[in-house]
Amino acid sequence: MARFLLRRLGFALITLFLLSIIVFATAQLLPGDIGRNILGGFADQSSVDALDHQLGVDRPVLTQYWDWITSFLHGDMGTSLQYQVPVWDLLGPSLVNSLKLAAVAFVFVVPLSILGGVLAALKHGRFTDRAITITGLSLTAVPEFVTAIVLIIIFGLVLKWLPVTATAPPGSNAATQVKYLLLPAFALVMVLFGYIARITRAGTIESLDADYTRTAYLKGLPTSTVIRRHVLRNSLLPTIAVVATQMGYLIGGLVVIEKIFNYNGIGQRIYTAAQYKDVTMLESGVLLVGIVYLVATFIADVLYTVVNPRIRHSAEE
Amino acid sequence: MDKERRRELDEYRLEQASEIENTVIDELVDGVLDRSEFIRRATMFGISASVVGAALEALGHPSLALGAPALPVAGGRLKVGIIPPPTTTDPYTYADTGGLETGSIAGEFLVRATQSLTLLPELATKWTPNKNASVWRYKLRPGVKFQSGQAFGSDDVVATFDRLTGDPKSAALSAFKGVLSKGGTKAVDNLTVDFHLDAPTASFPYLTSSTTYQAILLPKNYELGSFTKAPQGTGAYELVSYTPGVGAHYNRFPGWWGGHAALDGVDVTYYSDDAATTAALLGKTQNLIGQINFATGRPLFSNKGVQIFNAHGATHREVCMRTDLHNPLHDWRVRQAIALTLDRPAIVKTLFGKFGEPGNDSPFAPIYPSTDPSVPQRKKDLKKAKQLMAAAGHPHGFSIELTTEQTGEIPQLAQIIQRSVRAIGIKMKLTILTEAAYFGGTSTGPPLGWGNTPWLNTPMNITDWGHRAVPNVLLTAAFHSKGIWNAAHYSNKKFDRATKSFIAAIALKDQRRYAGVMQRILLHDTPVIIPYFYDFLGAGTTNVKGYKSDAQGSVYLSHTSLA
């Protein structure tokens, strides 16, 4: 088991290293330059050149990368080219915000989706199955900005039940913060429900049809025990993988949701950094999201081995 | 007419008034200026309120209403939604709406420009030119303190204007180019400053006003990059915290020279999405939104709980056509033909409703008193357009690429132009770039002096231009043969001469004469199409009192309160 985990950790570090190179290289392809983006389209070229020089972005790309990566490895994410403040001062609070939103969304979407998927599988081919499948697919097909705006109009502006912004006033307690995060979390639930429920449904149908399930029924076990011990244990494996892969999206991919709910999440920070070619912020932001993603998939791998001993044994071999 | 007042005015003009004061009063006497234009020009030349009032009364106009405004309700914190500044910058580098909005809540200027382009004393109490408007003397307001506690004086003005005119990062260099250079600002005593100009400029006070939004007065020992770190403006509210991309907080400055500001403070939240801004105001999360767009903020315009603040201005778009390339746009007849395909009133109605007005292919907006109203307005005329195309040797049209930026309503304008020119056979390909790509590259140097940036070098493009209190910088930078923003690469010596004369002219009738010359030249040559001018729009809940939008986007809250 330890060998398995160490190997996974090694892969994760290689992935992060490659990710840092890819992001740094692609950032060079972004149009414009930071000096022009900061000073504006009407600024004198000499002013733009002077600022680029001051920021050090006129140095060779490899030198810039080397400086950044060595600082990063020493725990220093550097200074934002755009805002001239330490990157961590901006990314830290944004990451915390993103984790809060992801947590609230996670709490709703995972149980709901699994419940929906299992229910659809148990009622396979009947009205309940079709209703859950079609509703889930329809919600997934609607773009998140449409879902978000509809939720804002209904629950924020017409019914006035929930705030239209996701940022709670400074000093708010946990309950108030959750209240502010409900609308964006619901928007995410609607986006992810169909996908996760569909995967759960497929896995459950396959497990229900498996020999070991039939054997369990023939042994005379009650349905609830068969579902809990034999069906879910196997059917949830793909669901765990899907939920883990969605963590990257939930943390760093919510630019649209963050914009509409005016939420200071890491997605907006990365987006703005890309817009302004703030490479230090962009690199650090993407790597943070990458780390979260790898941690999530790592946890998924561990859960896999816990839920399914066959995987654990094969890993140990 | 009040004979006694007339006699007093005549005595003043004979014994005390300067040549410029007499010129302005003559223009009122001759009927060249109406009451509002007279007030605007009188304030520009720093003529005192008592003389302005006396002249108006003597000539039978209603006098100035100088009564004290009703006292606002005190207290409360105003929640304001504005655009995030792209960077943490110093006021003298502001080049975007978010920056100037953030700075204008805490900072002040020598002179405050109103919506009607009248100039009001702020940190300067009086400004007077010499005979040919090449030296301007400013008397500063006594007893003003910076939020850092130090006293305000002439050394601070010198330092601020030297930075504006001499620091390479100054975003006001183009505005001051050819007008004021570093070293031209000189302290006479602690409360008097002389501006020695590079060339006579009658409209110079505008350059020292809030319309040059980078000209926020800062202490002489101001440390670059520290504006958002410690309070150091002179305004009614001091900036106490700032988080890039998130928001800023301001508290009432107890030492403000203007007295006790109505609000306890201001809480700014940055919004980068129009839908979020609209929802925030409708959901009463914010009291005031600094800037809204007509196209994306439509629910606000029909909501009874929302008041719209509009500032009439000269904000516009320029459709530039390269005059120096070997393509059909080289021919003025083709450029005119393209301009004649546009149905401007319909475009304005579609894009701005009642908050815009047709342009006439010159930067002389209807708001400028100097604009010559006798120049005919260009209208859609497809018959003439087709004739011009045929005369230019393109009866069946041609293909061309129009490049522009993803900003505001510009992509929609590009599509309208694309549809309009089909009527004369032109097949137009649209290339819509991000702002970063559109303004990217170099703007000076090879191959032709304008670098390689798309916005100054593509055959045909559309660029956004903000409001200016006077059109001077547009004329010298965007239309002059050597203009640094001359995207059409246009060159006309007669136009260049008229520009120089216009800037130096003191009397309005002279300014109008030169403006007329330039407007007619541009209407004929059509290097640029200016399809419309539109208002700057803001919005607030109905309990916001005393707020007015600014045509350039400043958020001036010193006299704003909550009911």
Nearest CA in chain A to B276: A260
Beta-carbon separation of A165 and B171 below 8 A: no
**Whole-number Å distance between alpha carbons of A194 and A178:** 23
- For chain A, the residue count is 317
Q: Provide the shortest C-alpha distance from residue A229 to chain B (in Å).
A: 47
Look up residue B527 and give its two tokens: 């290097």
Coil, strand or helix at B369: coil
pLDDT for the residue numbered B320: 98
**Whole-number Å distance between alpha carbons of B132 and B199:** 9
Beta-carbon separation of B244 and A277 below 8 A: no
Coil, strand or helix at B537: strand
Reading phi first (left if > 0) and then psi (alpha if -120 to 50, else beta), residue B437 is in: alpha
Give the CA diameter of chain A.
84
What integer is the mean pLDDT of B191-209? 94
Confidence of residue B4 (pLDDT cuts 50, 70, 90): confident
**Angle at the Cα of B542 from the Cα atoms of B539 and B544, rounded to 5 degrees:** 75
Supply φ then ψ for residue B221, to 5 degrees: -95, 25
Q: pTM surpassing 0.80? A: yes
Beta-carbon separation of B272 and A39 below 8 A: no
- B393 by Cβ neighbours in 10 Å (0-12 / 13-18 / 19+) ranks as exposed
Confidence of residue A35 (pLDDT cuts 50, 70, 90): confident
**Whole-number Å distance between alpha carbons of A182 and A107:** 11
Range B354-357, long-range pairs (CB < 8 A, 24+ positions): B355/B294, B355/B310, B355/B534, B355/B535, B355/B537, B356/B532, B356/B533, B356/B534, B356/B535, B357/B532, B357/B533, B357/B534
Peptide bond into B254 cis (omega under 30): no
The answer to whether residue B107 scores a pLDDT higher than 90 is yes
pLDDT for the residue numbered B42: 79
pLDDT for the residue numbered B62: 66
Look up residue B291 and give its two tokens: 């800037």
Q: Nearest CA to B363 among B530, B496, B481?
A: B530
Burial A115-141 (b: 16+ CB within 10 A, else e): ebbbbbbbeeeeeebeebbebbeebbe
Distances (CA, A) of B310 to A123, B9, B183, B290, B299: 59, 37, 38, 11, 16
**Whole-number Å distance between alpha carbons of B266 and B367:** 32
**Would an 8 Å CB–CB cutoff place A31 in contact with chain B?**
yes
Q: Nearest CA to A236 among A206, A209, A191, A213?
A: A206
Identify whether the C-beta of residue B248 lies closer than 8 Å to the C-beta of residue B265: no
> If you count residue pairs, one on A and one on B, with CB atoms under 8 Å apart, how many are there?
137
pLDDT for the residue numbered B215: 96
Q: Worst-scoring range by mean pLDDT, A28-32, A94-98, B133-137, B400-404?
A: A28-32
A304 versus B448: the higher-pLDDT residue is: B448
The answer to whether residue B67 scores a pLDDT higher than 50 is no
Single-letter amino acid code for the residue at B349: K
pLDDT for the residue numbered B26: 79
Distances (CA, A) of B146 to A64, A274, B138, B378: 40, 37, 19, 50
What letter does residue A277 receive in the DSSP assignment? T
- Residues from chain A contacting residue B485 (CB–CB below 8 Å): 42
Confidence of residue A3 (pLDDT cuts 50, 70, 90): confident
Query: Which of A33, A37, A38, A275 has the highest number of chain B CBs within 10 A, making it the mutation to test binding with B?
Result: A38
- Residues from chain A contacting residue B244 (CB–CB below 8 Å): 80, 82-83, 85, 90
What integer is the mean pLDDT of B406-412? 92
At a CB cut-off of 8 Å and minimum separation 6, what does A60 contact?
none
Q: For residue B363, give the H/E element and its range.
A: none
Question: What's the 3-state SS for B35-68?
Answer: HHHHHHHHHHCCCCHHHHHHHHHHCCCCCCCCCC
**Nearest by CB to A261, which of B88, B276, B434?**
B276
B63 versus B561: the higher-pLDDT residue is: B561
The answer to whether residue B63 scores a pLDDT higher than 70 is no
pLDDT for the residue numbered B334: 98
pLDDT for the residue numbered B343: 98
Give the CA diameter of chain B.
71
**Whole-number Å distance between alpha carbons of A303 and A248:** 18
Distances (CA, A) of B181 to A44, B139, B162, B290, B464: 16, 20, 8, 33, 27
Identify whether the C-beta of residue B515 lies closer than 8 Å to the C-beta of residue B502: yes
The answer to whether residue B371 scores a pLDDT higher than 80 is yes
Give me chain A's average pLDDT, please: 89
Q: Provide the shortest C-alpha distance from residue A94 to chain B (in Å).
A: 10
pLDDT for the residue numbered B32: 72
Handedness of CA B268, B274, B280, B282 (dihedral sign): positive
Confidence of residue A12 (pLDDT cuts 50, 70, 90): confident
Query: Which of B77, B79, B82, B87 has the highest number of chain A CBs within 10 A, making it the mutation to test binding with A?
Result: B87
Give me chain B's average pLDDT, please: 91
Query: How far from the centroid of its chain's Cα atoms is residue B263's Cα?
Result: 27
The answer to whether residue B436 scores a pLDDT higher than 90 is no
**Whole-number Å distance between alpha carbons of B453 and B446:** 11
Q: What is the pLDDT of residues B269-285, one digit of tens each?
A: 999 888 999 999 999 99
Query: How far from the centroid of its chain's Cα atoms is residue B174's Cα?
Result: 13
Q: What is the pLDDT of residues B470-521, one digit of tens each?
A: 899 899 999 999 898 999 999 999 999 999 999 989 889 999 999 999 999 9
Q: What is the pLDDT of residues B304-317, one digit of tens each?
A: 999 999 999 999 99
**Would an 8 Å CB–CB cutoff place A145 in contact with chain B?**
yes
Confidence of residue A189 (pLDDT cuts 50, 70, 90): very high
Identify whether the C-beta of residue B68 lies closer than 8 Å to the C-beta of residue B259: no
pLDDT for the residue numbered B336: 98
Range B495-500, long-range pairs (CB < 8 A, 24+ positions): B495/B521, B495/B522, B495/B525, B499/B475
**Nearest by CB to A45, which of B87, B434, B451?**
B451
The answer to whether residue B441 scores a pLDDT higher than 50 is yes
DSSP A136-178: HHHHHHS-HHHHHHHHIIIIIIIS--S-SSS-PPTT--HHHHH
At a CB cut-off of 8 Å and minimum separation 6, what does A276 contact?
A34, A37, A38, A81, A82, B86, B87, B436
Identify whether the C-beta of residue B231 lies closer than 8 Å to the C-beta of residue B225: no
**Angle at the Cα of B115 from the Cα atoms of B110 and B118, rounded to 5 degrees:** 55
- For chain B, the residue count is 563
Beta-ladder partners of B534: B315, B356
Look up residue A282 and give its two tokens: 């962009």
Pairing between β-strand B460-465 and β-strand B306-321 as defined by DSSP bridges: antiparallel
pLDDT for the residue numbered B465: 94
